[in-house]
Each structure stands twice: as structure tokens, then as C-alpha cells.
Amino acid sequence: MTDRECVELLQWAAPRLRLRWEGFRRVRGQVCKRIGRRLKALGLPDAAAYRARLAAEPAEWDVLDALCRVTISRFYRDARVFEVLRHELLPARLEALRAQGASTLRAWSAGCASGEEPYTLAVLFQLGLRPRFPGADLSLVATDADAALLARAHRGCYPRGSLRELPPAWAAQAFPGPGEEPCLAPEYRRGIDFLQQDLRSQMPEGPFHLVLCRNVAFTYFAPPLQREVLSRMVTRLVPGGLLVIGGHESLPEGDFGLTRAAGPLPVFLRTEA
């Protein structure tokens, strides 16, 4: 299948999956490769034949949907966001919790890939915040639609390249092993609940003080679905809770009871009760 054929297939199929083609434009290589392999496995000559297969066998749509998941991630991705969480926003939240006699910060990583994002938060919490808030705990739910990625998250071992943005001292402490694929030390894995959930139909109950939904819904979902998901997500935030989206993403138009929490950075605060 040529790149052009793949692009046309994605442009045609994305709205039918409630996705938006534009989200795939820059990263389509991974998806096109997978679709090409699927065509081969089915013995189909080209994209037109695959469209015919989709029309004849509706179950194939679920296969295509799974092939469309972009899995790129890394630790401490968008470092400036993690820096503002570490130095300003989470300390303020932990102070507020302490004033209420509470100690547990509840967070959700939506579209957690192979665990890079939730484990980043776990490392940040233990090495960046615990020294100042020794009594504080992190309760973390991490969801993804993809079972294979969740299995990798459980394994917790990563190519060194995916650690390159993590502060080096933290990387050395959290990934003490040698080799090209070091594993996360056990103390950073505790208290994380990994769940297989499709964000389009399922969400953990919450409520959360912090939701990370980066490079998933607001890149790949069609605008009406973005609005639906965002509305439901906001109800999972406590008032004053934070929503973090991806560095290249923006929220859909509309009043969702959110305001910016860190200047131009993609961090939003729930304003309404």
C-alpha cells in the first residue's frame, strides 16, 4: 500500500471511528505500516480491497481501530509541564490537602501507553515532592485501550532513549540496573492501578486532583467526541483539580468550567463545583 493510499484510507475511515485524520498526519508511518501488514495477512492487494473487507465484515472495524493507536511516549515528556507540576501546582495542592487533614493525591493517566507517563508521575512524586511532604501519598490510576501496552507497563523496562528527558539523577535512582533496557525499581511501581479501558466509553470514577490526558483524545478524537470526553473528564476532577493535555494540543471550543493554571502551558484547572 502506498502512502497516498494509506492517507486516503485514513481520511475515509477516521470519521467512521470517531477519530480525526489530521491527528495522524505527522505520525501516520506507524499506523500505515500496521495497516500494510494487515492487508498482507488478509491476502488483500490494496486499500480498495481492504475497504471492501470492512464493508463485508463489520468486525474488521475493531481491528482497524486497534491498528490506529499511536503508541509513542517517553518519560518526562514536555519537561516544562512536569517542572511546573513539581515546583508550583502539586506543592500547592498538597499544602491544601494537608490543611484539610488529608494526605492522598489522586491522579489518573488517561492513555498511559507503556507506563512512561504514570511512572514519570510516580518518580516525580517520590523524588521531587516526598522530601517536602513526607506524609503524602499518591494514588494513581493509569488506563489505556491497548492490552499489549499495558503488559509492557507491568513489565516496567524501557529503552534508555525513552528516559532521556528525565532528570539524570532521577533516572539513575529509579532505573538502577545496567544494560540498554533498564527496569523501574519496585518502589516506584507501588500504588499504581493499570486498567484496560477505552476512553470513548469508560473512565475511572475519580474524583481526581490531577488528570493527565496527553496526546490521545485531543489529537486523535473527532471534535464532537473530544467535547463528550472532556465533559465527562471534568466531572472526574475535584474543584480546583488539574487537567494536563499534550504540548501540541488544545481543548475543544466551549465552556467546560476550566481555566488555565500555568500561563501558556497546557494545564487547566476546574473552576466549578
Ligand X SMILES: C[S@@+](CC[C@H](N)C(=O)[O-])C[C@H]1O[C@@H](n2cnc3c(N)ncnc32)[C@H](O)[C@@H]1O
Between 144 and 175, name the residue whose CB sits nearer to ligand X.
Answer: 144
| Residue in 20, 38, 77, 270 binding ligand X, rule: CB under 6 A | 77
- Is 215 near ligand X (CB under 6 A)? yes
Between 20 and 214, name the residue whose CB sits nearer to ligand X.
Answer: 214
- Is 130 near ligand X (CB under 6 A)? no
Residues 238-257: x where in contact with ligand X by CB under 6 A, - otherwise, as a string: --------x-----------
- Is 193 near ligand X (CB under 6 A)? no
Rounded distance between C-alpha atoms, residue 38 and residue 63, angstroms: 9
| Residue in 47, 90, 125, 144 binding ligand X, rule: CB under 6 A | 144
Burial class of residue 173 in the structure, from the number of CB atoms within 10 Å of its CB (0-12 exposed, 13-18 middle, 19+ buried): middle
- Nearest to 76, CA basis, from 141, 128, 27, 29: 128
- Nearest to 70, CA basis, from 37, 38, 26: 26
Between 95 and 198, name the residue whose CB sits nearer to ligand X.
Answer: 198
- Is 216 near ligand X (CB under 6 A)? yes
**Which is it for the CA torsion 87, 88, 93, 94, positive or negative?**
positive
Quick one: how many helices (H) and strands (E) in the chain? 11, 7
- Supply the minimum distance, in Å, between the C-beta of residue 140 and ligand X: 13
Segments in 43-78 forming alpha helices (H):
47-56, 60-67
- Is 192 near ligand X (CB under 6 A)? no
DSSP string across 142-160: EEES-HHHHHHHHHTB--G
Residues that bind ligand X (CB under 6 A): 69-73, 77, 111, 113, 116-117, 144-146, 149, 198-200, 214-216, 246
